[in-house]
Amino acid sequence: MKLSEEGRREALALSFRHLNISLLAIVLNGALLCMLLWDIPQRFMLLIWMTVLLLVSLWRFWLYHGYRRHQSSRTMQTWERLFLFGVILSGLTWGAAGFFLFDTDQPLHQAVLIVVLSEMSAGSISSLAAHLVAVRIFVILTLTPLLLQLLLHREGYYLIFSFFIALFILMLLVIARRFYGSFVDLVETRRLYEHERTQLYLSKERSSTIVSQAPVGIFFYDTSLRIIEFNAEFCTILGAPVDFLTGLSLAMLPDQRVVPAIAKAIKGEDGLYEGEYQTQYLKRQLFLHLRTAPLLDLDKRVIGGIGIASDVTERFEFIRQIEYQAHHDMLTDTPNRTMLIERINREMVRFFRERMLFGVLFLDLDNFKTINDSLGHTIGDVLLCEVSQRLKYTLGDEDMLARIGGDEFVILLCHLGKNRHEALERMEHAAQRIHTTLSETVEIEGRYLSVSTSIGMVLMHEQEERVDDLLKHADTAMYQAKRDGKGMSRFYQEQMDYRIKRLMLIETALRQALKKGKLRLYYQPIIAIKEGRIIAAEALLRWHNEELGEISPIEMISVAEESGLILEIGRWVLEEALRQFVAWRETMPLQWIAVNVSSKQFNSPDFVSEIFLLLERYDLPSGALELELTESVVISDFDEVVAKMHELRKHGIGLSIDDFGTGYSSLSYLKKLPFTTLKIDRSFTQDLLIDEDDRELVSTIITIAKNFGLEVVAEGVEQQDQLDFLRQRSCEYYQGYFCSRPLDAIAFERLIAHHHGMRGSVL
């Protein structure tokens, strides 16, 4: 029963509000009392009392007035104290009447006094109801002096009266307390009510602001799924006017995809729909995000639902684009490795479940790097697009083309059936189709380019359990196809793995070796048989790798040719051999240096001009350089090769045909090509002594060579008898372990020094 600060303020205001009426009642009652007691002997006292009563009332009226006008001039506590002071003064005045004006001789007067005082006290209960202390003080101050006066008479009649007055005081105090209790309840309840009302108002205001200003569409619907209320954004999202949406039945929407989420709220659950939606009014296609929740009444009964909708088309499109980009190669607009792997995984699952075969074709364009480097990336890009376009045409609906690297494509051939043999055939056909499609020249910016691709193929089988392995095997097969020539396709075989791995290792290591200058040249003497004198040297490539060991030049050159490193290596060999030769010429009577040239190197467009530059740089005389070519050089473009050879010859460069007898060895070549020297392959030399046929063959080769005006070098001479045979047949030169193995530059110098010291004795 305690008032809050706010309640006290209200109670004080109420007390003051009633004060003017109370004062009027007091003055009227005072006047009435004066009239009724006019005859009492203490009339003078009565007049003084009335005057005091008037003065007190006047002061209290002044207080009342002050409170109403200048309430803020004093604190609430001060006003409370002043009010109480007024009550005390008033109570004392009335109490004084009960004590001093109690006329013992006139029972009527006494009765009047008792009635008036009782009435005043009783009245105070309502007029001072808001102030319990004031009521208590007023009642006690007003009636206690009367009670005392009655007790002072000590007669039975007075005592009975005094008992009643005491009882009356007690009753008034109890009632006052009750009154005050109700008052406090009332004030506090009202205050609470006001507070709640304000809160409710604010919350309603907030909600309606949120609903109207929210950047999402909000709508309310009843249990029959009819829209009751919605915000402006909802209209915007759906592109529909207010009239159209009001009362619209959501259950009857033409696009029913959102309905389950909407209906869920009516069942008391939250609903969610995220997906495409076609609006009813404008038939606009959008991507909608919709959340729904039940609307409940106070008893927690569902009375409808609230839906929050947003148009996430832009975000969705963006995500879709990002996803697309993550799964596609942007240049050719084909799936990328990520998507390919996902797809292969799915096909693998299917294979293990249904035994449905699928195959992987790994494509790598031949010579793409050369095109890219020589014609520029723009043309390279256009070519890639064209290739991917053509490849797409060769695919079936279920197949997939992916670009997984610069010029690397993978084709996934799906639904190849359950028969392995047939599946392999279908893959073979597909590869054939690809080769054919790509064989047509591509025109880019007026240039006609021809492309071909090497294809590695793998057909899915039980042992292939990982996508990575599958792709690696296809890659290995592709590598093999590439080694076998341009425009080839090969199926993966297990034994390929080791070989290809080694080749790949060599390629990487070779690249490093070249960069770090780890390649070396060895020199093998060429001896003029008649004079028995070292007359020239052949430069032979050597490379020792810490991990791979000594790599034979044959293996090295084949890897270098495939990876394109050959041009750089060839350049280095020529330069190094010539540098060494020039250094030796000062001190040694060497007439020429022979350098091996691979067919790819020879066929490179700049080969001849590079040689001329070198000759110029080292200022070499005619006949100082001899290039050793194998027959494979000639296979490519005959006319161009002939032209190049003539040009080289014009500058006095010797050209020898290396390993004669092992290749295609068409004598007609010999006639047409301006070779200067013929080198008999060591396989013939070595069997000279045991094989009659070889003796015959070597004799014939020497004779023919002489007829064509060629000098002859016999390779691989290891024994005196072989040398004797060659000398007999007038072969001019030989090479072989009989004289020396290929040696490094220092050992070679030592050999020459030693050889010249005892010229002729051993050779």
Question: Rule CB under 5 A: which residues touch Mg ion?
Answer: 596, 628, 658-659, 715
Q: Does 687 bind ligand C2E (CB under 6 A)?
A: no
Q: Is 561 in the site for ligand C2E (CB under 6 A)?
A: no
Give strand pairing partners of 545.
549
Q: From the list Mg ion, ligand C2E, none, which binds 557 (C-beta under 5 to 8 Å, kind-based)?
A: ligand C2E
**Choices 210-218, 406-414, 649-657, 716-724 (CB under 6 A): range interacting with ligand C2E:** 716-724
Contact status: 217 vs ligand C2E (CB under 6 A): no
Residue 372 near ligand C2E by CB under 6 A: no
Could you tell me which stretch among 238-246, 272-280, 692-700, 734-742 binds ligand C2E (CB under 6 A)? 734-742
**CB nearer ligand C2E, residue 357 or residue 714:** 714
442-444 and 453-459 strand pairing:
unpaired
| Shortest distance (Å) from residue 749 CB to ligand C2E | 18
φ, ψ at 239 (rounded to 5°):
60, 35
Which one of the spans 134-142, 324-332, 360-368, 594-602 is the region binding ligand C2E (CB under 6 A)? 594-602
**Nearest CB to ligand C2E, comparing residues 416 and 615:** 615
Q: How far from the centroid of its chain's Cα atoms is residue 540's Cα?
A: 54
Sign of CA dihedral 690, 696, 701, 702: positive
Give the whole-angstrom CA distance, residue 477 versus residue 490: 6
Q: Which of 644, 682, 729, 755 touches ligand C2E (CB under 6 A)? A: 682
Instruction: Verify binding: residue 735, ligand C2E, rule CB under 6 A.
Output: yes
Query: For residue 230, what are its two tokens?
Result: 């919605």
Binding residues for ligand C2E, rule CB under 6 A, total: 23
The answer to whether residue 726 forms part of the interface with ligand C2E (CB under 6 A) is no
Q: Cite the beta strand spans of 333-492 per DSSP E.
A: 334-335, 359-365, 400-405, 408-413, 442-444, 447-449, 453-459, 489-491
Among 311, 347, 399, 628, binds ligand C2E (CB under 6 A): 628
Using the rule CB under 6 A, is 598 a contact of ligand C2E? yes
Listed ranges 61-69, 109-117, 413-421, 729-737: which one lies at the site for ligand C2E (CB under 6 A): 729-737
Nearer to ligand C2E, 15 or 596 (CB): 596
Toward Mg ion, which CB reaches closer, 286 or 680? Answer: 680
Q: What secondary structure letter does DSSP report for 104?
A: S
Is residue 553 involved in binding ligand C2E (CB under 6 A)?
A: yes
Q: Angle formed by the axes of helices 107-127 and 5-36, to 10°?
A: 160
From residue 327, give the alpha-carbon distance in Å to each of 214, 340, 343, 396, 666: 36, 8, 11, 20, 54
Task: Choose among Mg ion, ligand C2E, none what residue 187 binds, the Cβ cut-off being 5 to 8 Å by kind.
Answer: none
Position 387 contacts ligand C2E (CB under 6 A): no
Position 480 contacts ligand C2E (CB under 6 A): no
Our finding on whether 496 is near ligand C2E (CB under 6 A) is no
Nearest of 722, 726, 756, 752 to residue 737 by alpha carbon: 722
Nearer to ligand C2E, 407 or 626 (CB): 626
**Cβ atoms 338, 327 nearer than 8 A:** yes
Question: Is there binding between residue 524 and ligand C2E (CB under 6 A)?
Answer: yes
Interaction of residue 737 with ligand C2E, rule CB under 6 A: yes
Considering only 176-184, 641-649, 701-709, 714-722, which stretch makes contact with ligand C2E by CB under 6 A?
714-722
The site partner of 464 among Mg ion, ligand C2E, none (C-beta below 5 to 8 Å per kind) is none
Please state the three-class secondary structure of 618-639 as a single string. HCCCCCCEEEEECCHHHHCCHH
Specify the residue for token string 């034979």: 552
Min separation Cβ 737 and ligand C2E, Å: 4
Task: Give the whole-angstrom CA distance, residue 280 versus residue 288.
Answer: 13
Helix axes 132-153, 107-127, angle to 10 degrees: 170
Q: Which is nearer to Mg ion, 191 or 571 (CB)?
A: 571
The token pair that represents 369 in the structure block: 């790097």
Site for ligand C2E in 635-674 (CB under 6 A): 658-659
When asked if residue 742 is in the footprint of ligand C2E (CB under 6 A), the reply is: yes
For residue 273, give the nearest of 281, 282, 264 by alpha carbon: 264
Rounded Cα distance, 388 and 438, in Å: 10
The smaller minimum CB distance to Mg ion, of residues 10 and 715, is found at 715
Indicate whether 736 belongs to the interface with ligand C2E (CB under 6 A).
yes
- Tokens 């050719």 label which residue? 332
Please provide the DSSP assignment of 545-577 as one string. ETTTEEEPHHHHHHHHHHHTTHHHHHHHHHHHH
Q: Is 718 in the site for ligand C2E (CB under 6 A)?
A: yes
Tell me: does residue 712 bind ligand C2E (CB under 6 A): no
Q: Which amino acid is at 631?
A: E
Q: Pick left, alpha or beta for residue 304 (phi over 0 → left; psi -120 to 50 → alpha; otherwise beta).
A: left
State in Å, rounded, how far the first CA of the chain is from the last one.
137
Round to whole Å and give the CA distance between 120 and 138.
9
Closer to ligand C2E by CB, 37 or 717: give it. 717
CB environment 204-243: b (16+ within 10 A), e (fewer): eeeeeeebeeeebbbbbbbeebbbeebbebbbebbebeee
Dihedral (CA of 423, 427, 432, 437) sign: positive
- Under 8 Å between Cβ of 268 and 302: yes
Pick the closer one to ligand C2E by CB: 380 or 742.
742
Instruction: By CB under 6 A, tell whether 557 contacts ligand C2E.
Output: yes
The single residue among 383, 411, 597, 615 that binds ligand C2E, judged by CB under 6 A, is 597
Distance CA 128, CA 272 (A): 62
Quick one: what does residue 701 bind among Mg ion, ligand C2E, none, with the CB cut-off 5 to 8 Å set by partner type?
Answer: none
Could you tell me where the beta strands, DSSP code E, fall in 215-340? 217-222, 227-230, 271-278, 285-296, 302-311, 328-329, 334-335
Q: Which window, 48-56, 238-246, 367-375, 551-559, contacts ligand C2E (CB under 6 A)? A: 551-559
Nearer to Mg ion, 576 or 658 (CB): 658
Provide the minimum distance between the beta carbon of 558 and ligand C2E in the complex, in angstroms, as a whole number: 10
Residue number with CB closer to Mg ion (596 or 676): 596
596 touches ligand C2E by CB under 6 A: yes
Of 368 and 734, CB closest to ligand C2E? 734
Residue 491 CA from chain centroid, whole number: 37
What six digits make up the tokens of 421?
A: 């043999």
Residue with tokens 């050999």: 751
Binding site for ligand C2E (CB under 6 A): 524, 540-541, 552-554, 557, 573, 596-598, 628, 658-659, 682, 715-718, 735-737, 742
